[in-house]
Amino acid sequence: MIEHASRLTFVRILFKLIFCFGITFIATSGSFPVEAQTQSFLVVPYYGGHDVTSWFDHQYPNYGNNDRIEIYDGTIAYNWHGICGYFGNNAVAYYAQPNSQGDCIWYEGHPAIDFALSYEPVLAAADGVVVERRWWNFADRSDELGMFIKIEHSEGYETYYAHLSAAAVYIGQIVSAGQVIGTSGNTGNSSGPHLHFEVRHNGNRTDPFGGSGSSYLWREGRWQTGQWVGRSERTYLASHLIDDGDTAFVKGRTINGSYKTCPPQSCPYWYPVSGVGTNGDMLWTFTAKNSADYWARWQTVTAGLETREYDVQVYIPSSHTLTWKAEYCPFDSYTYRPTTQCMIVDQNGIGNRWIDLGTHWLGSVSAANHAGIWIDDETGEEYSEAGRNELGVDAIRFRVRNHPMYFPLQLR
Ligand SMILES: [Zn+2]
């Protein structure tokens, strides 16, 4: 065994040398012992079962139009079979069999798999590092991928999660397979809420359901009553809802660099609204109002539970929630306010829904008080940008998992 292992190591070193020196003809000789590509490394990126609404087009996964769609199982839908769907004026979906028979296959040139997820938790499909998390185009909410996350995995693989309404991870964060990374949505070039899930290998778009005759890249998932099914929903020991009327909710503003709560200080730009939101109340303020800093925070209630790990959800009402980039930041009384490790939510596109903000370690043992989630009015939008200049604040839910999950701590 040892001899075999060291021989393999030697061959690997040799291969790297050859590759570095650019003598590539040896690598194509056929007998060279190259390691098999890792297969089956993905878990389903959501809880429960969901329909596939658009398949990966094997022939030209580049959004191009060549009047045919070929999917993983060898099915080819041709334009001449009959057209069953359009994007704008373009015919893009065709029937699987002639004379408008069989399934309607979506869609021409699609480089990913679309799953029917309506404002639901999105999970990391494999262990990896978050390398992008942003709006494709912060000036145009309907452009391309909208709000998206890109995760880098081992052996040249990357996954993309697009059209999100919330991103619950930060650039540089290490994530585990199955960890909540955000909430699906309808941002970017999207005709309805769904998850656009894209896999790339060495930069090339790849079908997680595999090519004809080859195996899936999924290691966890199964077909059940027409849906592709992942792991089941989480269960909780406890759930604490903190509304803007509760004592664990504090609002304020920063005056000359110091944090002042209000009341007792006056807060002229926090506007209360009744009849809207959780328990029929909410608050809002203008974004980046007069360069003064207006903020609010929701604190956890530990209630004797020996944990600081929470699944966090936020309720976004439909009123005065115009910002495309509300930042919800974990804080505790030691760091007080983190500057970069924040979740982002497109409040504008949601309307009366709970949005998943992932799992967070809130506060350290030595800073037991004042741990929770912080928000402020510096969203990246200007006061003058009507239509996206209002920040809404309502309830947050801190949930304690029945089964704790591992996730790497972030250094602050
Ligand atoms: Zn898509």
State the burial class of residue 198 (Cβ atoms within 10 Å of its Cβ: 0-12, 13-18, 19+): buried
User: How far, in Å, is the centroid of ligand 1 from the Cα of 114?
Assistant: 5
Q: Do 74 and 142 reside in the same domain of the chain?
A: no
Q: Do 308 and 185 reside in the same domain of the chain?
A: no
Provide the pLDDT for residue 1: 34
Q: What is the CATH number of the domain that holds 324?
A: 2.60.120.260
Average pLDDT over residues 304-327: 88
Q: Do 121 and 70 reside in the same domain of the chain?
A: no
% of the chain residues with pLDDT over 70: 82
Residues at Cβ < 5 Å from ligand 1 ion: 112, 114, 196
Q: Is the pLDDT of residue 4 over 50?
A: no
Q: Do 186 and 297 reside in the same domain of the chain?
A: no
Q: Do 255 and 325 reside in the same domain of the chain?
A: yes
User: How far, in Å, is the centroid of ligand 1 from the Cα of 107?
Assistant: 9
% of the chain residues with pLDDT over 90: 66
Provide the pLDDT for residue 207: 94
Q: Do 240 and 260 reside in the same domain of the chain?
A: yes
Q: Dump pLDDT digits (tens) for 234-244.
A: 999 889 999 99
State the burial class of residue 229 (Cβ atoms within 10 Å of its Cβ: 0-12, 13-18, 19+): middle
Split at pLDDT 50, 70, 90, the class of 340 is low
Q: Do 250 and 387 reside in the same domain of the chain?
A: yes
**Least-confidence region, from 35-49, 183-197, 389-403:** 35-49
Split at pLDDT 50, 70, 90, the class of 9 is very low
User: How far, in Å, is the centroid of ligand 1 from the Cα of 317?
Assistant: 27
Q: Do 213 and 257 reside in the same domain of the chain?
A: no
User: How far, in Å, is the centroid of ligand 1 from the Cα of 251?
Assistant: 40
User: How far, in Å, is the centroid of ligand 1 from the Cα of 108?
Assistant: 11
Tell me the HSE value of 330 on the side-chain side, using a 13 A CA sphere.
Answer: 23
Split at pLDDT 50, 70, 90, the class of 289 is confident
Q: Dump pLDDT digits (tens) for 187-225.
A: 999 989 999 999 999 999 999 998 655 688 999 999 999
User: How far, in Å, is the centroid of ligand 1 from the Cα of 54?
Assistant: 7
User: How far, in Å, is the centroid of ligand 1 from the Cα of 67?
Assistant: 18
Using CA atoms, how far residue 38 sits from 32, 141, 157, 185, 204, in Å, is: 18, 36, 10, 31, 16
User: How far, in Å, is the centroid of ligand 1 from the Cα of 80?
Assistant: 23
Strands ordered across the beta sheet of 271-274: 271-274, 281-286, 390-393
Phi-psi category of 97—alpha, beta or left, where left has phi over 0 and alpha has psi -120 to 50? beta
Provide the pLDDT for residue 368: 55
User: How far, in Å, is the centroid of ligand 1 from the Cα of 61?
Assistant: 11
Average pLDDT over residues 113-131: 97
Q: Dump pLDDT digits (tens) for 138-191.
A: 999 999 999 999 999 999 999 999 999 999 999 999 999 999 999 999 999 998
User: How far, in Å, is the centroid of ligand 1 from the Cα of 192?
Assistant: 11
Count of domains in the chain? 3
User: How far, in Å, is the centroid of ligand 1 from the Cα of 34?
Assistant: 33
User: How far, in Å, is the centroid of ligand 1 from the Cα of 163?
Assistant: 9
User: How far, in Å, is the centroid of ligand 1 from the Cα of 184?
Assistant: 12
37 assigned to some structural domain: no
Q: Which residue has the higher pLDDT, 361 or 381?
A: 381
Range among 121-130, 206-215, 296-305 rated most confident: 121-130
266 assigned to some structural domain: yes
Split at pLDDT 50, 70, 90, the class of 268 is confident
Q: What is the CATH number of the domain that holds 187?
A: 2.70.70.10
Split at pLDDT 50, 70, 90, the class of 402 is confident
Q: Is the pLDDT of residue 302 over 70?
A: no
25 assigned to some structural domain: no
356 assigned to some structural domain: yes
346 assigned to some structural domain: yes
User: How far, in Å, is the centroid of ligand 1 from the Cα of 109?
Assistant: 10
Q: Do 248 and 389 reside in the same domain of the chain?
A: yes
Mean pLDDT of the chain: 85
Q: Is the pLDDT of residue 20 over 60?
A: no
Which single residue is written with the structure tokens 């983190």?
Answer: 338
In contact, 127 and 175? CB cutoff 8 Å: yes
User: How far, in Å, is the centroid of ligand 1 from the Cα of 287?
Assistant: 32
Q: Which residue has the higher pLDDT, 25 or 64?
A: 64
In contact, 50 and 228? CB cutoff 8 Å: yes
Provide the pLDDT for residue 361: 81
Q: Do 90 and 132 reside in the same domain of the chain?
A: no
Q: Do 95 and 119 reside in the same domain of the chain?
A: no
22 assigned to some structural domain: no
User: How far, in Å, is the centroid of ligand 1 from the Cα of 351?
Assistant: 23
Using CA atoms, how far residue 246 sits from 46, 204, 274, in Å, is: 32, 51, 15
Domain that holds residue 163: 46-51+112-229
Q: Is the pLDDT of residue 399 over 80?
A: yes
User: How far, in Å, is the centroid of ligand 1 from the Cα of 255?
Assistant: 46
User: How far, in Å, is the centroid of ligand 1 from the Cα of 384?
Assistant: 34
User: How far, in Å, is the centroid of ligand 1 from the Cα of 76?
Assistant: 19
Q: Is the pLDDT of residue 293 over 90?
A: no
> Which tokens in the block code for residue 356?
């998943």
Q: Do 273 and 386 reside in the same domain of the chain?
A: yes
13 assigned to some structural domain: no
Average pLDDT over residues 330-335: 72
User: How far, in Å, is the centroid of ligand 1 from the Cα of 321?
Assistant: 27
User: How far, in Å, is the centroid of ligand 1 from the Cα of 105?
Assistant: 13
Q: Dump pLDDT digits (tens) for 70-121.
A: 999 999 999 999 999 998 889 999 999 999 999 999 999 999 999 999 999 9
Q: If DSSP states are collapsed to H, E and C, what string results for the chain? A: CHHHHHHHHHHHHHHHHHHHHCCHHHCCCCCCCCCCCCCCCEECCCCCEECEEECCCCCCCCCCCCCEEECCCCCEEEHHHCEEEEECCEEEEEEEECCCEEEEECCCCCCCEEECCCCCEEECCCCEEEEEEEECCCCCCCCCCCEEEEEECCCCEEEEEEEEEEECCCCCCEECCCCEEEEEECCCCCCCCEEEEEEEECCEEECCCCCCCCCCCEEECEEECCEEECCCCCCEEEEEEECCCCCCEEEEEEECCEEEECCCCCCCCCEEEECCCHHHEEEEEECCHHHCEEEEEEECCCCCCCCCEEEEEEEECCCCCCCCCEEEEEECCCCCCCCCCCEEECHHHCCCEEEEEEEEECCCCCCCCCCEEEEECCCCCCCCCCCCCEEEECCEEEEEECCCCCCCCCCC
Which single residue is written with the structure tokens 């974990």?
Answer: 330
> Which tokens in the block code for residue 230?
């992942």
Distance separating alpha carbons of residues 20 and 22, to the nearest angstrom: 5
User: How far, in Å, is the centroid of ligand 1 from the Cα of 112?
Assistant: 5
User: How far, in Å, is the centroid of ligand 1 from the Cα of 13?
Assistant: 40
Range among 102-111, 307-316, 356-365 rated most confident: 102-111
